[in-house]
Amino acid sequence: MQTNNIPENVLLKAQEWLDGSYDATTKAEVKRLMEKEDPTDLIDAFYRDLEFGTGGLRGIMGVGSNRMNIYTVGAATQGLSNYLKKAFAHLPEIKVAIGHDCRNNSRLFSETAAAIFSANGIKVFLFDALRPTPELSFAIRQLGLQSGIILTASHNPKEYNGYKAYWDDGSQIVEPHDLNIIAEVEKVKVEDIRFNGNAGLIFPLGAEMDELYLSEVMTISLSPEAIKKQHDLKIVYTPIHGTGVKLIPMALAKMGFTNVIHIPEQDVVSGDFPTVISPNPEEPAALALALRKAKEVDADLVMATDPDADRLGIAVKNDKGEFILVNGNQTVLIFLYYIITKRKELGMLTGKEYVVKTIVTSELVAEIAAKNGVEYYDCYTGFKYIADVIRENEGKKTYIGGGEESFGFLPADFVRDKDAVSSCALMAEIAAWAKENKLTLFEMLQDIYLKYGYSKEKMKYIVRKGMAGAEEIEQLMVNFRKNPPKMLAGSPLEWMKDYDSLINKNLLTGEVRPIAQKNTSNVLQFFTVDGTKVSVRPSGTEPKIKFYIEVKAKLNSRNEFDEVELTTTHKIDLVMNDLAI
């Protein structure tokens, strides 16, 4: 291999792995990468350390400092162990839970982490097989643990794996603990990792936790009578080869649904995701088999969950009898509209209830909340921030729902992360309630737009991989800050929110307002005079920069729906053209 074009830090890091305390198989693979004619794989594997960021780890599996392997997982676990022992030094015993999804190496990584925690004197509750991410959050709260981790890369392609860390309230870790843990992880060298576990400190978690979790899921029901009457509602469900395969059908059965239709080939648990290119319920291709089955059986509802069963995608029949995918914003609207409507009907709105959305999620959530006397909070992208709002309001106000445009929703606070198990159960109930009220879910969505205004959203992302890609994404954010667009789809830009400086500036008058967030984030938002909203942010877990576009319109009748849909779609195209994306 010619080394002229390889950064010096890559060669030094690769040599460290050849010389260091790594196993023979790992060293052989590093040597193979170094001997390849094309240095791309070597550079990508070693040009940086895979960061233990505020969301944990996520990356492509393989050897190298920028890859998911037992050493990067080991360093993260050792660093987390070190911090737990400092943060909870006053406790006689520190306890954690570990879960994992269906991905290749997830069980290996979870057992590796269990060994390391136990070698550090920490008691471990290790799930006996794959489980949904929300159940890990639930178990931490149920057992009174100090922390927990789950090995998952959520909806990423099969090459990826990840490591999410949780705190004692069952939420993903936030400040100050996230930054403190990162500091501890960065200190860890390979020789510091205690791989030799203490089996006496590792205990299995199994069916008993499933039963406790599912019992809580049942408490979210608001229309049991509708389920009784519509129990044979035709529901097509697919776990897309993931962790929802067992618990979600169990939850639906416990709720009272008797006609859940499976996709047998996608009930096969596999980290190779053999029937899809990407196991992401946000992408139409992932639901192709479910939609085919839905047409075959004339289903009422289609539901799909991602590999760790925290995201939910649904499809419903439109007014032409065609199955259409419902986007994440619309899913949040359906959930919150139903919850607020039913609570009002049942006399369960006391004035202390609140809902939460992320800043990139539809502004219609704020409309629905305001017009029903329900308080609403905006927070950064990521469910850990929704959980942070719940934590701050604990014992003072009542959480009744929260969600984000990326297909995540949490119906109740016994879990502190997005929960597709609870969400599937509640969405099935909503479909039953709608049918009992002579409505389809599509008509219910149209009624929401008629009452609160119409909005159309689109998320567009640009992928830029590797070191050069990361630099390009950084430069794009710099350019948008320095030169924001003057107009979007013919409407002047009015407000620019910069969450990096926490300043909201009126570009027409020069007025400046502070943004009420506890910390900064690399996000920009543009608001035009006519209500168009654009959010721009680099992904924290993938090599992407994301653009979230929302445009508004007035819907006067259901008959106008197609026309308004076309008009707003065209407007989004104009916005994208103005942004050059």
Instruction: Specify the pairing of strand 353-358 against strand 375-379.
Output: parallel
Q: 376 - beta bridge partners?
A: 355
Q: What angle do CA 384, 189, 204 make, to 5 degrees?
A: 55
Among 200, 233, 262, the domain boundary falls at: 200
| 162 touches 153 (CB < 8 A) | yes
- Residues 287 and 312 placed together within one structural domain of the fold: yes
CA–CA separation, 58 vs 162, rounded Å? 4
- Residues 227 and 322 placed together within one structural domain of the fold: yes
CA–CA separation, 430 vs 337, rounded Å? 10
Which residue range(s) make up the domain with 150? 48-200
Residue 57 included in any domain = yes
| 525 touches 497 (CB < 8 A) | yes
Instruction: Specify the pairing of strand 398-404 against strand 544-553.
Output: unpaired
DSSP structural state of residue 375:
E
- Residues 147 and 271 placed together within one structural domain of the fold: no
Return the closest-CA partner of residue 104 out of 306, 305, 270.
270
- Residues 164 and 104 placed together within one structural domain of the fold: yes
State the CATH number of the domain containing residue 88. Answer: 3.40.120.10
* 423 burial via Cβ count (<10 Å: 0-12, 13-18, 19+): buried
CA–CA separation, 236 vs 311, rounded Å? 16
Among 405, 430, 452, the domain boundary falls at: 452
- Residues 219 and 349 placed together within one structural domain of the fold: yes
Beta strands in 21-68 (DSSP E): 57-60
Tell me what pLDDT residue 413 has: 98
Q: What angle do CA 407, 410, 415 make, to 5 degrees?
A: 130
Residue 15 included in any domain = no
CA–CA separation, 415 vs 398, rounded Å? 14
Q: 127 - beta bridge partners?
A: 205
Tell me what pLDDT residue 527 has: 98
Tell me what pLDDT residue 98 has: 98
Per DSSP, the residues of 454-507 read: EEEEEEEEEE--HHHHHHHHHHHHHHHHHS--SEETTEEEEEEEETTTTEEEET
Residue 191 included in any domain = yes
Residue 5 included in any domain = no
Sign of the alpha-carbon torsion through 10, 11, 13, 18:
positive
| 309 touches 242 (CB < 8 A) | yes
Residue labelled with tokens 């779609």: 569
Residue 243 included in any domain = yes
Residue 355 included in any domain = yes
Residue 406 included in any domain = yes
Q: Mind telling me the catalytic residues?
A: 154
- Residues 256 and 376 placed together within one structural domain of the fold: yes
State the CATH number of the domain containing residue 509. Answer: 3.30.310.50
**What would the two tokens of residue 199 be?**
């089996």
CA–CA separation, 47 vs 466, rounded Å? 9
Among 452, 473, 489, the domain boundary falls at: 452
- Residues 430 and 345 placed together within one structural domain of the fold: yes
- Residues 189 and 299 placed together within one structural domain of the fold: no
**What would the two tokens of residue 175 be?**
């400040």
- Residues 227 and 326 placed together within one structural domain of the fold: yes
Query: What is the count of structural domains for the chain?
Result: 3
| 72 touches 57 (CB < 8 A) | yes
- Residues 176 and 295 placed together within one structural domain of the fold: no
CA–CA separation, 77 vs 81, rounded Å? 6
Question: Do you find a cis peptide bond into 307, omega within 30 degrees of 0?
Answer: no
- Residues 223 and 194 placed together within one structural domain of the fold: no
Return the closest-CA partner of residue 251 out of 421, 437, 119.
421
- Residues 459 and 432 placed together within one structural domain of the fold: no
Residue 509 included in any domain = yes
Rg for the chain, CA atoms, rounded: 24
Q: What is the pLDDT along the chain (581 residues), one digit of tens a residue?
A: 556 678 999 999 999 999 999 999 999 999 999 999 899 999 999 999 988 876 789 999 999 999 999 999 999 999 999 999 999 999 999 999 999 999 999 999 999 999 999 999 999 999 999 999 999 999 999 999 999 999 999 999 999 999 999 999 999 998 889 889 999 999 999 999 999 999 999 999 999 999 999 999 999 999 999 999 999 999 999 999 999 999 999 999 999 999 999 999 999 999 999 999 999 999 999 999 999 999 999 999 999 999 999 999 999 999 999 999 999 999 999 999 999 999 999 999 999 999 999 999 999 999 999 999 999 999 999 899 999 999 999 999 999 999 999 999 999 999 999 999 999 999 999 999 999 999 999 999 999 999 999 999 999 999 887 777 888 888 999 999 999 999 999 999 999 999 999 999 999 999 999 999 989 999 999 999 999 999 999 986 667 899 999 999 999 999 999 999 999 999 999 999 999 99
Dihedral angle over CA of 288, 293, 296, 301, nearest 10: -100
